[in-house]
Amino acid sequence: MAELLQVPRLKLYLDFERVLTEPQLTALRAMVKRRAEREPLQHIVGSACFCGLNFAVSPAVLIPRPETELLAERAWESLQRLARQPGSAPPSVLDVGTGSGCLAITLAVKCPAVTVHAVEISEAALAVAISNARQHGISDRVLFHQSDLLAALPKELRFDLIVANPPYIATPELETLQPEVRNYDPRLALDGGVDGLAFYRRLASEAPARLHSQSTLMAEFGDNQADAVAEIFRSQGWTIDKLARDLAGNLRIIIARGPVY
């Protein structure tokens, strides 16, 4: 069945009269049944596209979302500007809560000069991310750490850019999510605490110790959380450069410069 899943869409039209074998039909029926039970298509086929790159996914990781592609784009544009500055050292970036590794790996692919560190608390998710980095041929430039946010990172590491797509669903709202999310995405990647903001409080407090002077943090947040997230960072001495919108016009990304400790 794997060969059918990899057929380009145009070839499907050109090969419209192809007759499937009985084993292929049996496999296809099983996949359709799984989708009818609201299992995400990405889990069924085992992969998801993010910024034009293919990533293996499993129930251990959050399926990459289109909104996060905007975060990736802003991050790689920032890193490319840093890399072009005369006499500057190669930029360093930290991806907090890497999951499938989609953000960290995309930045390494788009910005060959950067070194990327990525942290993730879930051992199962890290295994997926490490496999994805190997698939894209950049294992030497993406260094993974099992860590609860920044706690287990080597103390000497400092970064020019920190990116994060942390859990931001309020715990009471988890049961209201679509079945594809509620029943299949890992709770660790969704549950942001009682108000959905627990991880932003930790980031705002812990990240300054990991920054160079004038370093930037970019983080995705949920619907209607912009004011609360901005206030959390301001209260810890951060300067908010921008609250950026997604393609639907909703505020979705905070871009801020932190105090350096």
- pLDDT, tens only, 217-245: 999 999 999 999 999 999 999 999 999 99
Confidence of residue 19 (pLDDT cuts 50, 70, 90): confident
Per the structure block, which two tokens stand in for 165?
């797509």
Residue 110 has pLDDT above 90, yes or no: yes
**Closest-CA residue to 105 (of 67, 65, 144):** 144
Extents of the domains making up the chain: 59-257
Confidence of residue 18 (pLDDT cuts 50, 70, 90): confident
Predicted confidence at residue 260, as pLDDT, reads: 66
Confidence of residue 1 (pLDDT cuts 50, 70, 90): very low
The residue-averaged pLDDT of 22-38 equals 78
**Closest-CA residue to 229 (of 200, 193, 191):** 200
Higher pLDDT, 78 or 34: 78
Confidence of residue 13 (pLDDT cuts 50, 70, 90): low
- The owner of tokens 């609360």 is 228
Range from 34-43, 110-119, 181-190 carrying the lowest mean pLDDT: 34-43
Fold designation for 59-257: Rossmann fold (3.40.50)
Compute the distance between CA of residue 136 and CA of residue 132 in angstroms, rounded to an integer: 6
- The owner of tokens 């991880």 is 199
Q: Are 138 and 109 in contact (CB under 8 A)?
A: yes
pTM, full prediction: 0.90
Q: Looking at this protein, which amino acid is placed at residue 168?
A: Y
CA angle 6, 9, 12 (to 5 degrees): 90
Residue 115 has pLDDT above 50, yes or no: yes
Predicted confidence at residue 17, as pLDDT, reads: 72
Compute the distance between CA of residue 169 and CA of residue 190 in angstroms, rounded to an integer: 6
Residue 105 has pLDDT above 60, yes or no: yes
- Give 123-157 pLDDT, tens digit per residue: 999 999 999 999 999 999 999 999 999 999 999 99
Residue 11 has pLDDT above 70, yes or no: no
The residue-averaged pLDDT of 43-63 equals 95
Over the chain, what is the mean pLDDT? 91
Q: Are 162 and 93 in contact (CB under 8 A)?
A: yes
Length of the chain: 261
